[in-house]
Chain A
Amino acid sequence: MADFLREWVINIAVIIIFIMFLDTIIPNSSMKRYINVIVGLMIIVVVIKPFVLIKDYADSFNMKFLETSSYIEQGGSAADSTEISNFQRQMAVEIFENNLKKKVGRIVDNSTDSDYEEVSIDLRLEKDFESKDFGEIKSIEVIISKRPKEVIEVDRIKIAADEDAEVNKNVINKDKVEYNLNNSRISSEIRDGISKALGISESIIGVEVRQ
């Protein structure tokens, strides 16, 4: 009981000293009256606090205070908050998209050698907030192009015999098939890597290897 009384007296004394101090700070204008009203309310609250505590209404007081203040704050900022939350959602989608692109880019880098330079990644996401599948990846298109090689000028070559031409033709065809095989191997590797890393079906991943 003594502790309780001591705390009560300290509370009253401190708040009175505090208000006296603040009274010197507050601007000397018509505002002073309004500030005094609030300060008066404060003093009433501090003085009647023991009764509140005896009746165990302290929680009720705090609850009512918080309830009313949140009601007032919500009323003023309801429109602002929807706008802000929409903006935040958009930003989140953008960040998600960029991170996803970076990740796909890393997978492509790991799967290909340094010959491939230009990598373009096109992502299609479900951006409709209302939709059930919001944030789901619809498709991924990866286009990688080979670094352009320098053209070496060579002297004109004369092919005399028909046989030689036939041999050359075969060789060229063989190379082409090999080249296509290589491309399809790279694209399937990339597709597999992306599918495993992101946990999505391979059917929505398109990979194109350009010369």
Chain B
Amino acid sequence: MDIMKIVMVGIIAALLAVVLKEEKPEMAVAISIVTGLVIFVFVITKLNSVMTVLKHFAAKANIEVLYFTTILKVIAIAYITEFGAQICRDAGEGAIAAKVEFAGKVLIMVIAIPILAALMDIMIKIIP
């Protein structure tokens, strides 16, 4: 079972990090980063297959690829930002974590801008 593997990796890494925190805090941070990466990569491959199925259904239901890819991009940015910010927070760098989150928010807004612009354009054209 995959969830068992992930949970075991998590528990072992947490124990190691707790033990090492007193002696070598920098190693504890490294362990948390590596564990996060391992779990992230493991889960992202699973998520990839889900996304392929969703894409297939989106194509079948005649949903425009434009909407679909935009939403997927936004979710990917959100996840990666969250991941990076949490690692920074674990290392005790709250300020850097806030900056990472800020960058993520800006990038999400950048993705949203084309939709917003197109929508505004249509609105202005429709209203006589």
Contacts and interface: CB of A to CB of B under 8 A. Distances in A.
Chain A complexes with chain B: yes
A65 B122 CA distance: 11
B60 to A, nearest CB: 9
B108 interface: yes
A72 B82 CA distance: 24
A34 B108 contact: yes
Contact of B62 (A10, A39, A44): A10
A31 B114 contact: no
Given A38-B74, A55-B126, A65-B115, A29 B67 contact: no
A48 interface: yes
A64 B118 contact: yes
Contacts of A32: 78
Given A31-B104, A37-B112, 11 more contacts: A25-B75, A29-B82, A35-B75, A38-B112, A39-B71, A42-B71, A45-B118, A46-B67, A52-B126, A57-B126, A72-B113
A55 to B, nearest CB: 6
B105 A34 contact: yes
Contacts of B110: 72
A42 B72 CA distance: 12
Contact of A14 (B61, B78, B116): B61
Query: 7 closest pairs, A vs B, by CB?
Result: A68-B114, A69-B114, A65-B118, A31-B78, A64-B118, A27-B82, A68-B117
Counting chain B CB atoms within 10 Å of each CB, which of A25, A30, A38, A45 scores highest? Answer: A38
Contacts of A31: 78, 81-82, 101, 104-105, 108
A41 B82 contact: no
Question: Chain A contact residues (Cβ within 8 angstroms of B): what range?
Answer: 35 or more
Nearest to B110: A72
Interface of B: 47, 54, 57-58, 61-63, 66-68, 70-71, 74-75, 78-79, 81-82, 85, 101, 104-105, 108-119, 121-122, 125-126
Contact of A60 (B62, B115, B125): B125
A125 B28 CA distance: 56
A138 B98 CA distance: 58
Interface in A31-86: 31-32, 34-35, 37-39, 41-42, 44-46, 48, 51-52, 55, 57, 60-62, 64-66, 68-69, 72
16 contacts: A11-B61, A14-B57, A15-B63, A18-B58, A18-B63, A22-B75, A27-B79, A29-B78, A31-B78, A41-B116, A41-B119, A45-B118, A61-B118, A66-B114, A68-B118, A69-B114
Contacts of A57: 122, 125-126
